[in-house]
Structure 1
Amino acid sequence: MDDDNTTRYEAPTRRDCIKYGGGIIGSGLLAGCSGGDSGSTTPGTTTADETEPGTSPPTEQSYSVTMAPMGEVSFDAVPEDVYTGLPNTADMAIAAGRSDAINAVYYPEYHGTLMNRFYERLDGVSFEWESLTDSWGLGKEGFYELDSDVHLTDPAYASTLDALDQADVEEIREQIAPWFGNYYSNTRSDPPTEWATNYEYYSLWEMFEKVGQVFQAGDRARRLAEVHSELVASIEADLPPESDRPSATLVFPGQDETFWIYHLNGPGFLSAHTRPLGAPDAFGDAEWSGPSQQVDYEAMVERDPDVLLVLFTMSTDYNIQDIRDTLEDSPVAQQVSAVENNRVHAQGVRYQGPILNLFQLEMTAKQLYPDAFGEWPTYVDGPYPEIPEDEQLFDRQRVANIINGEFEA
């Protein structure tokens, strides 16, 4: 954004109580991580574990959380108004018990509806998205209007958006509230050059631990991480031998008889629900730049995956049955084993937080290995399917209780 064509905001925000604790390098960019334990809080301040479940977090003492690329970020109060850019950070705020604090998310109707299709299986958990601001294309003035206490977005990524430039990102940090996010851990891709020196990568659950600290919700984050660890361990224990695993491709249909394909087992949190399952990627040896590659039906026939995992088709915008019908009606696509054997399955979101990750791990395990983990119900539309309790891979009520703060310290 060109500051010459916009109003310059000189007055400091009312939220001087929330600020960066890290330094600024000479060019004005944010400094990278400081030394020491990246998950620790500053000595002498409160920690993320001092809040009793079901009570308000302490506000009388400052605390800090450290994560690249921001460095150490200091807070004098738990954020009450929270900007979330992509749905993974919204899911993290909801998992930390702060759904009511969110004021913005990318494409609220789409992501809010999609996320609620998973949350419907958790008592007392929902996302009230109807009044939220769309974070996409939000310029500097929009950030001032929201007047958030924290922006759960990577400043390195924010600086690449069309509606913001580096000076805007710095001004928003100084005048409104800090940034807190790590976008390029999505595929462990390279950040912009000016941010690369001190950039670090995190797993989905490492990032959620730090967001939990921002909200002084360390108990929730730790307990949900235990559910995740138990889920992954139980899946790994029952995986069939590698020689018996079906090949799979993560796709989204394109135009003119094409697919967009994505790496199934690539690095980063976008693959956090597929990589642990160890299925052979039908395009695993293919290389391309960027997150996806377009291929035609003939290429899919040549690779012949046993399972097609079709992204975004648990949303209201795309219908998995329409896609199945289109593939079955194509003389070329119907030759793909996944189409021929009715193994074309709906998937949810790539930018998943901890709650969505639990459901998508269970869902994909059943889609890939029904003999080991139980059949995945044929999905056409609506909420995440009802799974009989004895076939669930994680305890819904346990997860709901953690999110709602209904547990003993």
Structure 2
Amino acid sequence: MHESRDDPTGPTRRQYLLGGTAALSGLLAGCASGGSGSVGNETTGQQPTESDTATATDATATEATTEPSGPYSATLAPAGEVTFDGVPESVFTVFSQYPDMLVALGHGDAVNAMYVPEMAGTTMNNYYERLDGVSFDWEDLPDPLANGLAKELLYDLDSDVHLADPAWASTQQNWASADVDEITESVGPWFGNFYSGTNAEAPEGYADAYRYYTLWDLFGHVADVFQERDRYEALNAVHENLLATIEEGLPPQSERPTAVRVTFTGDQFYTYHLNDPGYWLADTRPLGANDAFAERDWQQLWGTVGMEAMAEADPDVVLHLWGMTPNYDMAEVRQSLAAHPIGGDLSAVQNDRVYAQGMRYQGPLMNLFQLEATAKQLYPERFGAWPGYEAGDPYPEIPEGEQLFDREQVASVVRGDGR
């Protein structure tokens, strides 16, 4: 935890920002720029990206020890270097990549808020069902965006750290740089990076200090905050092995299917690119499928197309985002597509290649499962058949010999066996 603001002789919370931006100001519209919004319908605004292939690892990230003997620091743009006097015990989060990181690091019980907890928490536990001894208790968590980002909630929660981007926070309704600074000084520091989600342009005043991170780079910086470098390194090794397995198994580009990532709303598709930079695409970019909408420029992470445009593209594979969340029933989605006079003729529908995908708001544990799922959905002949997903079920059980990463190895790290 950072030092108490009640200590009149100690430094203020603002003094814990040592080497970051001088003032936590700046603006930039974000994915959940106010209101609860429907995730599937993208009414929460622009999303950030995570570039898993071309991003910078901050060389100044603190190599954490398991038990800090005194104050220690962790570094992440745009907050800069943040000093803590102990491991945070109460942690504010918004998007579920951060709760998933905390679960992975053995600190899931520190989370005190999360965006759309019923959807995100349920989905996380659907993955964790395959990790023995791993779960996340989300039921009583408030949604920090249910009524827009409320400063009063942040005061009430009195968090030791806010795993949210101060640049993003400054763009929320009724927020300005002064409000961000106020929370830093009166409650606790910010430590998050939102715009790496899409590598979108940072808000005015942040461009010089901003950096773009991959999902797993970001995870490493968060691990430093919680003094869990060993856990991070062990899980990162699993991820690197999974990426190597995928790379080794990929067919030549000319033999890869055309695919789209979409959310079907009944009359149109919200569409996403597959291979752009940003951590929201950490589960599709490494698979390198041929994006059927690669030439479309939506000036943001997503766009919309009608059924006619989808028929013209006629992708081999449809990856339905949010399909493994409680918000969608894929049997109903497939039935609706099949019953449509145009949709029923789509190659992916005809060939039963409309697949349930997970969440863009993925942390490291979710990413392992979502990479495995996408590999099997796109290249069953290379990585084994995808067994399918039924609404309300956990992540499907895959025979041990067909798994692309070792569940028990991951679960053992998360449980802290041998510590």
What TM-score, normalized to structure 2?
0.87
CA pair 191-41 structure 1, distance change in 2 beyond 3 A: closer
CA pair 27-376 structure 1, distance change in 2 beyond 3 A: closer
* Corresponding residue for residue 295 of structure 2: 285
**Residue correspondence of structure 1 range 241-252 to structure 2 within 5 A:** 241-252=252-263
Give 1:28 shift.
6.2
Match of 1:294 among 284, 291, 304: 304
CA contact (8 A) 2:144 2:150 kept: no
* Corresponding residue for residue 118 of structure 2: 109
1:235-266, CA deviations, whole angstroms, 9 ceiling, x for partnerless residues? Answer: 110111212111100000134x2101001111
* Corresponding residue for residue 35 of structure 2: none
Quick check: 1:20 aligned with 2:16?
yes
1:178-217, CA deviations, whole angstroms, 9 ceiling, x for partnerless residues? Answer: 0001100001001211211211100001000000000000
Give 1:13 shift.
5.5
Give 1:27 shift.
6.0
Amino acid at match of 2:287: L
CA contact (8 A) 1:114 1:315 kept: yes
CA pair 24-228 structure 1, distance change in 2 beyond 3 A: closer
CA contact (8 A) 2:319 2:354 kept: yes
Please, which moves more after superposition, 15-24 or 212-221? 15-24
Amino acid at match of 1:374: G
CA contact (8 A) 1:13 1:175 kept: no
* Corresponding residue for residue 97 of structure 1: 106
Match of 1:337 among 347, 365, 390: 347
Amino acid at match of 1:400: A
Give 1:343 shift.
0.2
2: distance between equivalents of 1:258 and 1:272?
Answer: 25
| SS of corresponding position for 1:109 | helix
* Corresponding residue for residue 352 of structure 1: 362
Give 1:380 shift.
2.1
Match of 1:185 among 191, 196, 199: 196
Please, which moves more after superposition, 159-168 or 225-234? 159-168
1:52-101, CA deviations, whole angstroms, 9 ceiling, x for partnerless residues? Answer: xxxxx33x311111111011111111100001110011111111110111
CA pair 274-343 structure 1, distance change in 2 beyond 3 A: same
* Corresponding residue for residue 78 of structure 2: 69
* Corresponding residue for residue 199 of structure 1: 210
Amino acid at match of 2:413: I
* Corresponding residue for residue 142 of structure 2: 133
1:355-381, CA deviations, whole angstroms, 9 ceiling, x for partnerless residues? Answer: 000000000000000011111012222
CA contact (8 A) 1:140 1:163 kept: no
CA pair 104-39 structure 1, distance change in 2 beyond 3 A: farther
* Corresponding residue for residue 80 of structure 1: 89
CA contact (8 A) 2:87 2:226 kept: yes
CA contact (8 A) 1:82 1:101 kept: yes
Quick check: 1:175 aligned with 2:186?
yes
Give 1:21 shift.
3.3
Q: Which runs of 5+ in 1 are unaligned?
A: 1-10, 31-36, 52-56
Provide the aligned length of Structure 1 versus Structure 2: 380
2: distance between equivalents of 1:109 and 1:329?
Answer: 30
| SS of corresponding position for 1:193 | coil
Give 1:17 shift.
8.4
**Residue correspondence of structure 1 range 153-168 to structure 2 within 5 A:** 153-168=164-179
* Corresponding residue for residue 5 of structure 1: none
**Residue correspondence of structure 1 range 7-46 to structure 2 within 5 A:** 12=5, 20-23=16-19, 29=25, 38-40=58-60
CA contact (8 A) 1:39 1:210 kept: no
| SS of corresponding position for 1:290 | coil
Give 1:341 shift.
0.5
Quick check: 1:310 aligned with 2:330?
no
CA pair 100-237 structure 1, distance change in 2 beyond 3 A: same
Give 1:163 shift.
4.8
CA pair 17-103 structure 1, distance change in 2 beyond 3 A: farther
Match of 2:242 among 189, 208, 231: 231
2: distance between equivalents of 1:20 and 1:362?
Answer: 40
2: distance between equivalents of 1:160 and 1:21?
Answer: 20
2: distance between equivalents of 1:183 and 1:329?
Answer: 39
1: distance between equivalents of 2:189 and 2:340?
Answer: 51
| SS of corresponding position for 2:192 | coil
Identity of aligned residues (%): 51
Please, which moves more after superposition, 313-322 or 18-27? 18-27
CA contact (8 A) 1:238 1:372 kept: yes
CA contact (8 A) 1:115 1:127 kept: yes
* Corresponding residue for residue 3 of structure 1: none
Amino acid at match of 1:369: Y
CA contact (8 A) 2:262 2:269 kept: yes
CA pair 71-232 structure 1, distance change in 2 beyond 3 A: same
CA contact (8 A) 2:258 2:290 kept: yes
2: distance between equivalents of 1:21 and 1:27?
Answer: 9
